[in-house]
Chain A
Amino acid sequence: MFRLILQRLLALAPLLFIVSVLTFSFTSLLPSDPVDLILGDTGTEEQHEMLRERMGLNEPIHVRYLQWLGRALQGDLGSSYFNSVSVMGAVMQRLPVTLSLTAVSAFIAIVVGVAAGVAAALHPRSWVDRFATLGATFGQAIPNFWFGLILVAIFAVSLRWFPATGFTPITESPWEWLRSVILPSIALGTSSSAAIARQVRSAMVGVLQQDYVRAARAQGLSARRVLFKHALTNAMIPVVAVLSFQITVLLGGALIVEQVFAINGLGTLAIAAVRQQDIPMLQGLVLVMVGLVIAVQLATDVIYGLLNPKARPT
C-alpha cells in the first residue's frame, strides 16, 4: 500500500513541475505591464523603474521562474497585483467552496452512476437501462449551468426548498451547508453520473460473462454475493481508471456553476483575475487546481491498485 502510493506519487510529481513551467511562461505572455497596472498613469518614470526593480521584473525569465518556484514550494504564491492580498490566502479562503461543490457532485455522480449502471447491466432494455442511455445522451448536451438555472427556478424560486444563492460553510452548519450545495452539485454531477453509468454498464455486462462469475455461482455462492463482491469489484476497475478525468471535469464545471448560484468560489476569483490581468492570482489558481487534480489522480490510482492486483508494484 505504502509502496503503491510512493510509486504513483513519483510518477505524478513531474506533471506538477511541467505545469508550473507552463503556467509561469504563459502568464508572462500577458500583454499588460504589471507596473502600469499597479501605478496606473500616475507616478514618474523613476517610480516605475524602482517598482520594476523591486518586483524583480528586470531579471531574465528563468531567474524569475526559479525565484517564483522557490517561494511557491514554501507555500508563498506571491500577492495580487490588484489589491496586494496574498494569493495563497485568497485561494485557500475560496477553496472550501469549490471543493464542496466538486466533492458533493462527485459523490452524487458516483453513487447514482454505479447504481444505475449495475441496474442497467442486470436488466438490459429495462426502463433503468433506457433511462441511463437517454440520460447519458442528454447529459452530454445540456449545459450544466443552464441545468442549474432550471433547478433554481423549480426548487428555489417556486418550491422554496433550497436557497437560490449563497454558500454556508460546513463548519458553520452542516445542514445549511448541504442545503446550499445540493442544487449546484446536482446541476454539476448529473451529466457525470450518466457517463459513469454507461461505463459501469458496459464493464458489468462484460464481467458477468466471465468464467469466474459462473464458477463462483457453481460453487454455490449467492447471486447477490457474486454480483456485489465478485463482479462489481472487477467491473469497477475500468471505471476507476477514468474517474479522475470525470472529477477534473467536475472541478472545471464548478467554476461556472458557482456563478449561477452566486457562490464565491475559485471561479469568481479566476474571472476577476482575468479581468484585472492579475498574473500571480492566475498562476496560483492554476497551480492549486493542478494540485487538486493530481491529488484526485493519486487517490484513484491507489484505489485502482487496490482493486486490480495486477497493477500493484511487485
Chain B
Amino acid sequence: MTVENAESAGAVGKPWRISASNVLVGVAVSILALLVFLAVFADVIAPYDPLRQNLINALQGPSARHWLGTDDLGRDVLSRLIYGCRIAVIAATEATAIAVALGVPIGLFIGYRGGWWDWVVMRIVEAIVSIPGIMVAIVIIAILGPGLHRAMIALGILFSTSFLRLARGVVLAEREEIYVRSARVIGASDSRILFRHIFPNIAPPLIVQVTLTVGAVLLSEAGLSFIGLGVQPPQASWGTMLNTAAAFMQLNWFLSIPPGIAIILTVLSVNLLGDVLRDSIGRGIAATAPEGRTATFEPSRSAASPAARPETRENEVLRVEGLEVMVGSDPGLPIITDLSFSIAQGETLGLVGESGSGKTMTGLAILGLMGAGLRITRGSIVLDGIDLRCLASAEIEKLRGDEVAMVFQDPTTSLNPAFTVGSQIAEVLRAKQGLSQRQAWDRAVALIERVGIPQPGARAKAYPHELSGGMAQRIAIARALSCNPSLLIADEPTTALDVTVQQEILDLFRDLQDEFGMAILFITHDLAVAADICDRISVMYAGEMVEMAGVDTLFHDPKHPYTAGLLSAMPHASDRNPPLPTIRGNVPRPGAWPAGCRFSNRCDFAVATCKQPVALTSGERMVRCLRADQLDLRPGT
C-alpha cells in the first residue's frame, strides 16, 4: 500500500468500458420496453385475474400452473407482477410529470425575478429538503389521503424541489449571458426571453434529472405501498406484494423475490440510461480532449554510446551517472536518458531547460518518488557514497528528509492545508529525529525564525492559507532543512512568487547554504535566476543533458546551439528595444524525439550528420553537439 501506486487512479481502460456499456444499454432499453409492453397489454398477457382468490391454493411455490407460485389468498403471483408493471409505469409517469410541471415553472420564475420571491421560495425549499423525504410524503398523504394517485401527487410535490433548484440554477447562470441581455435590450418580453432563450438550456440537465427522478419515484412508491400508504390492497403493485411477502416471510420467503427483482431491474435500467445520458450530454459540453499522439520513438537511444563520466569533485555529495528513466510497461518510453552530473558540498548546480525537458523528473528520481509507471532502468544515483538504486524503498524513505530534501514550486500547494505550518515542521522532526512534541515544536519555531519570518511563535500556529506565498515558501524551506540534509533539491522555488520576493528567497538560499553547507540542486527554467544563485549550470533538453559548465563560462561561451538559444531569449534590462529572439517550435514530447541530436529539428546549425547519435564530452566542460568545436556561439558575435 504505497502512495505512489495510487497516482494513476484516473486512468481507466476505455475500450473495455465502451463495448460493455453498449451491451448494458441494450439490456436496459429492452427491460424498460418489456415493462411498458407488459403494462399496456397486462389484460391479455396475464394468465390469471390478479384479484381472483383461491384459498385452497394459498402460498404455493412455483409450479407449472402458477409459474411464480401463489400468495396468501391464492392469487397468481405472476399475474400480479404483470399488473404491477402497469402501476409502476403509471406511478413513475404521474409523479415525474407533476414534479416537472410544478418545479420547472416555479424555478424559472423565481430565478428570473429574483428578490423576495426567490428568497421566500428558496427558504421553503431548504426547509422541505431538510426533512427526510419519506416524512414529507407521509405528511402530504395525511392531507390528501392514501391511494396510488394521491401518493404520486405527494411524491411529485416532494421531487419538484430538485427540478425547481435545477431550473433556477440554469436561469441564474443564463440571465446574465450576453444573448439574454441583448434580447432584453431589443425589447423582448420577459416570457419570451424565458421560454424562447433560456428554456432550451434547461433541456439537457432536465433529461438527466428526469431519469434520476423516475428511479427514485419507483423506489418511493414501493416503499409507500409497502407501509400501506400508497397503492391500497387488493390492487396489485410491487410494493403491496412485498407487504404481503413480509407478513409471510417465515412461511414462504419466495414471495419477496419476484417483486424485489422487478423493482431492482427496473430502477437499475433507468439509472443506467440516466448515467449514459449524463455522460453523452456532458461530453457534448466539454471541449474535446486532444488526441494522444502515437509514439514514434525509435530505439536509437544515445545511451548506446558510452556514458560520459562527470569529473570527480572534492567533497562530492551526489553523483548521478548514466541515469535512464522509462515510463510504461516493458520496454516503455524513455523520459530521461544518459544523464550524468555531480554536486559537491556547499555547491549549487543549476538544472536548466524549457518545461518538458525532464528537470523535475530528475529531482523526483533522486528521491525515489517518480510515481506509478515510472522506473529507473539504467545508471546510478550515489548520495553520500550510497548507491540509492541498491536500497529498498524503506531504506530510501529513511534517507529522505535526513540526507536529501526537496522544496517544491508552489508553496501554497506543497504545504498541507489542514495543518498548522509549525506542526508540519514539528512532525518531520518527531518522525525523523525522534524529538518529543515539546522539543519538536520549539525547534520548529527556531527554524521559522531562522528563515527570516518575524513573530515565529505566532506564525507557527498559522495555516498555510493564512500566509503569503513568500512566507509559505520560507516555511517549506525551513521544513526541508529541518533535519539538516546534505542535499537540497529546489524545484523552481521562486517561479510562483513575486519578483521582489524571488530575490529575497534566493538570498535566503545563499545564506542558509553558507550556514548549513548543503549541496543544492537548483531546478529552474529561468536563466537569470540560475545565473544569480548557481555555481555551475547543466542544460537539459528532451530528457538529456546537452551542456554543462561553470556559470561564467556558460554565459560567455556557450557551446551548444540550444544553450545559445536560451541565452539570446533572456530579456536584458538594458536593451529592451529589439524583439526577443525565440527558439522556434517546442520541446518534443517523449516518444517524438528526433533520431540523433534531439535538438536537430529546431537547430539553425543542423547538418545531415546530426541525425546520428551524439555523445556527451567528458570532463569539467561537457557538451553534446557534433559541431561544438566549429561553431562560435558567443553572445554578441
Contact = CB atoms under 8 A, between A and B. Distances in A.
B563 to A, nearest CB: 29
A27 B123 CA distance: 19
B431 interface: yes
A259 B271 contact: no
Interface in B216-257: 219, 222-223, 226-229, 242, 245-246, 249-250, 253, 256
**Interface residues of chain A: helix, strand, loop or mixed (majority):** helix
A309 B461 CA distance: 12
B397 A260 contact: no
B628 interface: no
B107 interface: no
Interface stretch (B44-52, B128-136, B202-210, B328-336): B128-136
A83 B213 CA distance: 38
Nearest to A234: B418
A297 B223 CA distance: 25
A152 B256 CA distance: 11
A234 B418 CA distance: 7
A290 B410 contact: no
A26 B215 contact: no
B138 A274 contact: yes
A149 B418 CA distance: 43
Interface stretch (A2-10, A35-43, A68-76, A119-127): A119-127
B133 A150 contact: no
A94 interface: no
Contacts of A215: 406, 408, 414-415, 476
A153 B256 contact: yes
Nearest to B212: A140
Given A157-B253, A205-B6, A222-B397, A149 B227 contact: no
Interface residues of B, number: 86
B127 A208 contact: no
Interface string B254-282: 00100110011001100110000000000
B369 A214 contact: yes
B393 to A, nearest CB: 9
Interface residues of A, number: 84
Interface in B344-394: 364, 367, 369
B9 A205 contact: yes
Interface in A24-49: 26-27, 29-31
Contact of A309 (B246, B405, B432, B465): B465
Nearest to B144: A31
B474 to A, nearest CB: 15
A62 interface: no
Interface in A176-230: 204-205, 208-227, 230
Interface of A: 14-15, 18-19, 22-23, 26-27, 29-31, 121-125, 137-138, 140-143, 145-146, 149-150, 152-153, 157, 164, 204-205, 208-227, 230-231, 233-234, 237, 248-249, 251-253, 255-256, 259-260, 267, 270-271, 273-274, 277, 282, 285-286, 289-290, 293-294, 297, 307-310
10 contacts: A19-B131, A30-B143, A138-B268, A220-B397, A256-B227, A271-B228, A290-B127, A293-B130, A297-B130, A307-B418
The list of the 7 closest CB pairs from A to B, nearest first, reads: A252-B132, A220-B401, A220-B400, A141-B267, A211-B413, A252-B134, A205-B9
